[in-house]
Amino acid sequence: SQAPDPAAPLPAHVPPVAAFGRRGRTLRLALGLLLLATLLRPADACSCSPVHPQQAFCNADVVIRAKAVSEKEVDSGNDIYGNPIKRIQYEIKQIKMFKGPEKDIEFIYTAPSSAVCGVSLDVGGKKEYLIAGKAEGDGKMHITLCDFIVPWDTLSTTQKKSLNHRYQMGCECKITRCPMIPCYISSPDECLWMDWVTEKNINGHQAKFFACIKRSDGSCAWYRGAAPPKQEFLDIEDP
């Protein structure tokens, strides 16, 4: 019988990978291992959904204006394998509390790396921050990169004044971020946050100058300015 021609084309019914025999199986195994390694690779970044400053205020247990005086790494218990959990402890000087317990906050805790949502604050007592986070009791709180933490001097005058009363008035409202047009509200107690669509920036006009406030009929609407709103007001009113 005639020996097969190695240069002859493969029959149509033979799959390309199968034609390589052992090399094909090795290739499939390598691709499978690569896919598995990709799926098992730990996340190397902290991911947060953007929130309007009013939402951040309403979601937080504690909202303060403060300076960080010093920092150090401390043990904070053990994980399920018995390994010590490290956290960064900031000793702070509280300037004002906008929301939180009666006792002043003395220490703030956060994860040791931004990869696990840890926050880095300038120490030395010169830079002031607005800091929102979770209460831990006994003059302590915990913060992450997903909390609203910004240098105090970057806030607009409206934002600073809204911390005293305005944001709290809107905590029963829902602020819905619009990622792209079209977007709609699903209930009367919602306000559409359009900064990303209009300015490609989450720290846009609505974030800096507006609050979503409940009206007398139970619906919610954007209100501009820092003065107390009237009993009835129109959207985008500027007193």
Of 116, 136, 153, the last residue of a domain is 153
Q: For residue 96, what are the β-bridge partners?
A: 65
Task: Please give the pLDDT value at position 78.
Answer: 76
Identify whether 74 is part of a domain.
Answer: yes
Count: domains in the chain: 2
Which of 138, 153, 168 is at the close of a domain? 153
Same domain assignment for residues 165 and 116: no
At residue 228, does pLDDT exceed 80? no
Q: Is the pLDDT of residue 52 over 60?
A: yes
Same domain, 141 and 190: no
CATH number at residue 196: 3.90.370.10
What is the chain's alpha carbon radius of gyration, rounded to the nearest angstrom? 27
Which residues are known binding-site members?
46
151: nearest Cα among 180, 118, 126, 184: 126
- CA distances for 15 relative to 5, 7, 10, 228, angstroms: 18, 17, 9, 74
12 DSSP 8-state letter: T
Q: What is the mean pLDDT of residues 140-158?
A: 95
78-122 residue pLDDT tens? 778 888 888 999 999 999 999 999 999 999 999 998 998 999 999
Asked if residue 84 is part of any domain, the answer here is yes
- With 0-12 CB in 10 A as exposed, 13-18 as middle and 19+ as buried, what is 208? middle
Task: For residue 84, count other CB atoms closer than 10 A to its CB.
Answer: 10
pLDDT, greater one: 175 or 137:
175
- 109 and 189 together in one domain: no
Q: Do residues 132 and 56 touch, judged by C-beta distance below 8 A?
A: yes
Last residue of a domain, one of 124, 153, 182: 153
Dist. CA 131–CA 114, nearest whole Å: 16
Within a domain: residue 146?
yes
Tokens for 81, please give them.
């394998």
CA angle, 53 then 130 then 233, to 5°: 35
What type of residue sits at position 30? A
- Which of 105, 121, 117, 114 is closest to 146 using CA atoms? 117
* Known binding residues for Zn(2+): 46
CA distance linking residue 23 with residue 58, whole number of Å: 60
Would the pLDDT of 236 be above 50? Answer: no
Within-domain flag for 101: yes
Measure CA of the first residue to CA of the last residue in the chain; give whole Å.
Answer: 99
Burial profile 137-173: b = 16 or more Cβ within 10 angstroms, e = fewer: eeebbbbbbbbbbeebeebeebbeebbeebbbbbeeb
Is the same domain home to 222 and 164? yes
Q: Are 224 and 238 in contact (CB under 8 A)?
A: yes
Q: Are residues 191 and 124 in the same domain?
A: no
The answer to the question of residue 3 being in a domain is: no
Q: How confident is the model at residue 174 (pLDDT cuts 50, 70, 90)?
A: very high
Domain that includes residue 115, residue range: 60-153
Structure tokens at 157: 């005058």
